[in-house]
C-alpha cells in the first residue's frame, strides 16, 4: 500500500538537504545553491536529456556514477554551465569542493546546473559558500527545492511510504521545471531519494522504464533542454533485502516510484511558464500503447489546443487536428472526445463528428485550473496519459527577456 507523506528528498532515512543564496544569481532573495547528502554511499541511477547539446554537469555526473554509486548531489541555479569554456573543469571543481566539505570522494558526487546557457559559471561564490551550504543541511527539502528553481513559481515535492519485504520504506523527490519542457528525457531536473535497498542495476531498470510513461509524457513548450536529468539514490537504510531482480518487491518499488514521478509530472506541467491551467490528456481504447502515447503527446503539444484551453474554448476540432497529424494509425471515424474538470464532464465529439453540447457548460468546465481531455479511440484496450499546460501571453513575456 502506498501512503502519501511529507518530506520530499528528506522523507527517506539517512538523507539531509539544504539550500542557500551563494551569489550566483543577482537577486539575493533567491536561493541558488542546493545540496542533498546521504549518510552512507547509495546505489544510484540516472537518465539524461537526449539533446545533442549537453551541459558540462551531465558529462561529469555520468562519469562519476558509472560505477553505480553516489553520496551527494550539488546543484546550482542561475547558470547552466553549458556551451562555455572550461565547463567540465568547473563541474569537476564543484564535485571536489563538495567532497572536501563533506569528507567523501569527489567521484561520489552528482553535479547539476540550471539557468542561462553560454555564460561562464564563476566558481568563486560557490567555493566561498560551501561551509554555509553544509551548515544548511537538515530536514530542509523545501529550501533545497527553492535553490534549484529558475522560472518555477512553486516548489515541487512529493514523497510516499511503502512496504517491501515487511520493511517500511520511503521514497521522495524534488523537481524543477517550468520552461523548455518537452517529452524526450529528461526535460527537467529531478532528484529522488529512497531508503529502500535496490541494486544499481535494478534502480536503473526501474527509472528507465518509469520515465517512458511519466517524464517523457510532459510537455510545456516543445523545447528539450540541455541540462536535464533525473537521478535516483537508494541508500538501503530501510534494511529490506536488496532488490536485485524482478518480482513482488521490485513491483512494489516501481509503484512507489511511479506515484512520486506522476505527482511531480503534474506539478511541472501545472507550473509551466505563464500557465494558468494544468492540462491532462487521457487516451483510451487504443490499438496499442505506442498509438495511445503518440496521440496523447500530439494533443498536449498542440499550440492551438493549448491556446484554446487558455481561452476556455471547447474547440474540439483542434484535438482531432492534432490526432490527424500525429501519424498514429487510428480510425478517425471511431474517435470520441470529451472535456472534464471539477465542474463535470461534457462530450463534444462522437465517431469523429461534432455533437450538440452546451457552450455555457463547456465554458464552466474549461474555466477550472485542471482540465482533462478524454480521447477514446475505440480500437483496442491500450491507454496513455500526457500532461501539459495552456499557452498564455505570459509565456512570451517570460521568454522574451529570460537572459536579461
Active-site residue list:
187
Measured CA distances, 349 to 54, 334, 352, 365, 374 (Å) = 43, 10, 6, 16, 10
> Hey, is 85 helix, strand or coil?
coil
Angle, to 10 degrees, between the axis of helix 303-310 and the axis of helix 317-324? 160
Residue 148's contacts (CB-CB under 8 Å, 6 or more residues apart) are 19, 34, 75, 77, 112, 114, 174, 176, 189, 191
Residue carrying the nine cell digits 538501503: 236
Residue-by-residue DSSP string for 164-182: ETTEEEEEEEEEE-SSS--
Vertex 355 angle, CA 349 and 356, to 5° = 135
Handedness of CA 364, 367, 371, 375 (dihedral sign): positive
- CA-CA distance, 174 to 85, in Å (whole number)? 30
Measured CA distances, 149 to 115, 127, 273, 278, 396 (Å) = 9, 20, 12, 19, 19
Among residues 358, 43, 344, the alpha carbon closest in space to that of 206 is found at 43
Handedness of CA 230, 234, 238, 244 (dihedral sign): positive
* Start-to-end Cα distance in the chain: 48
Indicate the helix (H) or strand (E) that contains 43.
strand 33-48
- CA-CA distance, 167 to 243, in Å (whole number)? 12
Instruction: Give the chain's largest Cα–Cα span.
Output: 68
Backbone angles phi, psi at 78, to 5 degrees: 100, -15
Amino acid at each position: 500500500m502506498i501512503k502519501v507523506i511529507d518530506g520530499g528528498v528528506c522523507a527517506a532515512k539517512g538523507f539531509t538537504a539544504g539550500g542557500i543564496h551563494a551569489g550566483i544569481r543577482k537577486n539575493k532573495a533567491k536561493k541558488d545553491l542546493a545540496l542533498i547528502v546521504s549518510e552512507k554511499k547509495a546505489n544510484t541511477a540516472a537518465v539524461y536529456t537526449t539533446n545533442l547539446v549537453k551541459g558540462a554537469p551531465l558529462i561529469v555526473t555520468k562519469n562519476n556514477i558509472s560505477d553505480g554509486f553516489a553520496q551527494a548531489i550539488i546543484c546550482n541555479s542561475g547558470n547552466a554551465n553549458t556551451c562555455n569554456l572550461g565547463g567540465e573543469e568547473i563541474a569537476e571543481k564543484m564535485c571536489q569542493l563538495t567532497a572536501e566539505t563533506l569528507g567523501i570522494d569527489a567521484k561520489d558526487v552528482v553535479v547539476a546546473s540550471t539557468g542561462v546557457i553560454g555564460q561562464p559559471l564563476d566558481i568563486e561564490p560557490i567555493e566561498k559558500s560551501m561551509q554555509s551550504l553544509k551548515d544548511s543541511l537538515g530536514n530542509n527539502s523545501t529550501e533545497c527545492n527553492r535553490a534549484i528553481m529558475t522560472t518555477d513559481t512553486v516548489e515541487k515535492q512529493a514523497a510516499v511510504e511503502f512496504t517491501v519485504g515487511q520493511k517500511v520504506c520511503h521514497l521522495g523527490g524534488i523537481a524543477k521545471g517550468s520552461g523548455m519542457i518537452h517529452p524526450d528525457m529528461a526535460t527537467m531536473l529531478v532528484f529522488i531519494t529512497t531508503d529502500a535497498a535496490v541494486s544499481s542495476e535494478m534502480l536503473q531498470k526501474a527509472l528507465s522504464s518509469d520515465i517512458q510513461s511519466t517524464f517523457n509524457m510532459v510537455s510545456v513548450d516543445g523545447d528539450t533542454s540541455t541540462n536535464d536529468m533525473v537521478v535516483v539514490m537508494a541508500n538501503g537504510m530501510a534494511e529490506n533485502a536488496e532488490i536485485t531482480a524482478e518480482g513482488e518487491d521490485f513491483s512494489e518499488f516501481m509503484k512507489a516510484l511511479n506515484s512520486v514521478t506522476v505527482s511531480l509530472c503534474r506539478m511541472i506541467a501545472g507550473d509551466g511558464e505563464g500557465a494558468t491551467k494544468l492540462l491532462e490528456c487521457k487516451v483510451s481504447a487504443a490499438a496499442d500503447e505506442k498509438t495511445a502515447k503518440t496521440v496523447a503527446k500530439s494533443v498536449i503539444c498542440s499550440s492551438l489546443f493549448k491556446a484554446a484551453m487558455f481561452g476556455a474554448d471547447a474547440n474540439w476540432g483542434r484535438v482531432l487536428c492534432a490526432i490527424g497529424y500525429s501519424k498514429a494509425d487510428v480510425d478517425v471515424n471511431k474517435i470520441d472526445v470529451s472535456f472534464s474538470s471539477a465542474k463535470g464532464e461534457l462530450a463534444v465529439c462522437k465517431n469523429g463528428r461534432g455533437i450538440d453540447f452546451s457552450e455555457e457548460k463547456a465554458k464552466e468546465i474549461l474555466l477550472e485550473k485542471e482540465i482533462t481531455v478524454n480521447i477514446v479511440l475505440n480500437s483496442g484496450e491500450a491507454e496513455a496519459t500526457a500532461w501539459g499546460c495552456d499557452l498564455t501571453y505570459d509565456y512570451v513575456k517570460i521568454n522574451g527577456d529570460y537572459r536579461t
